[in-house]
Amino acid sequence: MLTGERRGDGEAVEAGFASDALPLSESGLSRLAPADDEPGAGAAEPRVGAAEITPAPPAASPQDRRNIRLMNFGTGFWKFGAEAVAVGVPLAALHLFGGATFVAGLAVMYGMSQIVSSSVAIGLVERAPPSRVLAGAVAVQAAIVASIFALASAGLLSAWMIFPLYALIGAAHGVAETARRLVPGWILGHDEAALQRYNGGLHVFYEIAGIAGAIAAGAVVLMSSPLAALILEPPAAIIAAFLFSRVHADFEPAPPAPRAGSFGTWAAASVRGYFADVRQGAAAIFKDPKLAWAALAMIVPAAVHRILEGVLLPVFASKVLALPAAAAWLLSASDTGELLGALLLLAAGSRVKGSSGWVRLMSLGLLAGWIFSVTTSLPLVITLVVASSLTWAASDLSLLSYLQARLPDDVESRAMGFLVGLTVLAMTLGSLGAGRLLDAAGAGTGFVVIGAVLTALAAGLLWVSRKLRQKAGAGSGPRAGNIRQ
């Protein structure tokens, strides 16, 4: 399993761009203060004992810097191809089926397959390095997308074939996303400041590539058709898989579970193991109230953001603006906002203690959802989409770093699999509800109702941010150990 000794505070601070010019992360002394600046924070008990403070942490190794560069560029190529799929498949569904419910149905198929596969990924990453699992899943995605494009080019792709094939893409994505979230702790350790810098820097590459991918896909849609945009994904994904496969660090696999009896017995044991993994992941999150609040503040906005990109933007572009290619421009705006959010976190993260402030900012960003019901001005809509995505990305990356630094080693993979699955479940149900609403009530009324729902969620998340500011329990600080040797 993923085991090892603790690295010094500040080690591998070259996360993100892996540049020697980046400032050092927080020292051990600065982390004696609580993670959030609640009233009376200065009197709180330190979370790190004096014996654990390392006065002169070692510098990041060349292997660390190489791994960071490989993850940055690999993630960029992966995102470039993924945006072509995100633009092409929903627009093709709108063209073939005509209703928002069918676009939501695609999201449901995609989401349900992700829920199952994200838990299947738990067993994979305990027996193989996360980077190898990630590389394999991305390569499988490339093969599936290439098969869709080949079938469409040969005139053999029927409308209903898109659903199962898109579900397979979602299954591969669920495995890849779960593995990708485990890579930072595996290669860098569990210093929260270093992880925050890594996640923020990685997201810069992620969103620059996303902007480029969405623009390229939009150009292909204008020149040819939505399904033609899929040609961009396979070569980009193959390059990403190769780069991911070159990421190396010490790894000790868990012992394989014995397979006894018939196939039916083994299958039943696998199902029981799946639900046991889910329960263990949930217990790791919910046993500490502050971890549970952080998970809630991460899951709900992430689901809303995916519904925005997967359902609301394509429907608004096709049904309200009557300009399908605008979906690519709006998706580029969302990616731009996420890029700016990552840059904001990198620039201001060391000056903002804890995640509660980022959650409050993100809550206000949800109110930008009203824009779809009040104007058809594309520049104004693009501006508000950028603003909303900016606030979401900064909050999401801060919360992800918070959880990665605190989840126990022995259940981290299960907890991350549980979080991915729960996020996808929320996205799936929300996508289906939004699609049915927009078809039944029409885009005008539907977007008003969606704005009201987002306002209620914003109020709830503002309340959650107050919970995050409260004094943490004994188990809420960053853990001393990590998974590196």
The predicted-structure confidence for 94-138, as pLDDT tens digits, reads as follows: 777 767 777 778 877 887 887 778 767 777 887 889 999 999 999
Q: Which helix (H) or strand (E) segment is 248 a member of?
A: none
d(CA 395, CA 451): 20
**Predicted model pTM:** 0.67
Beta strands of 106-172 (E only): which ranges? none
- In the block, residue with structure tokens 């549980």: 418
Whole-angstrom CA distances from 210 to 85, 232, 238 are: 11, 12, 16
* Helix, strand, coil percent content, the chain, rounded in steps of 5: 75, 0, 25
Domains detected in the chain: 61-255+276-469 (1.20.1250.20)
- Cα-Cα-Cα-Cα dihedral of 314, 320, 321, 323, to 10°? 50
Nearest CA-CA partner of 214 in 430, 389, 373, 346 = 389
d(CA 214, CA 211): 5
Residue with more model confidence, 193 or 40: 193
Lowest mean pLDDT among 36-40, 364-368, 381-385, 430-434: 36-40
Would you state the pLDDT for residue 9? Answer: 38
Whole-angstrom CA distances from 339 to 336, 397, 436, 484 are: 5, 11, 31, 29
The predicted-structure confidence for 40-74, as pLDDT tens digits, reads as follows: 443 334 344 444 443 444 456 788 789 999 999 99
Indicate the pLDDT class of residue 382, thresholds 50, 70 and 90.
very high
Evaluate whether 355 touches 321 at the Cβ level (below 8 Å).
no
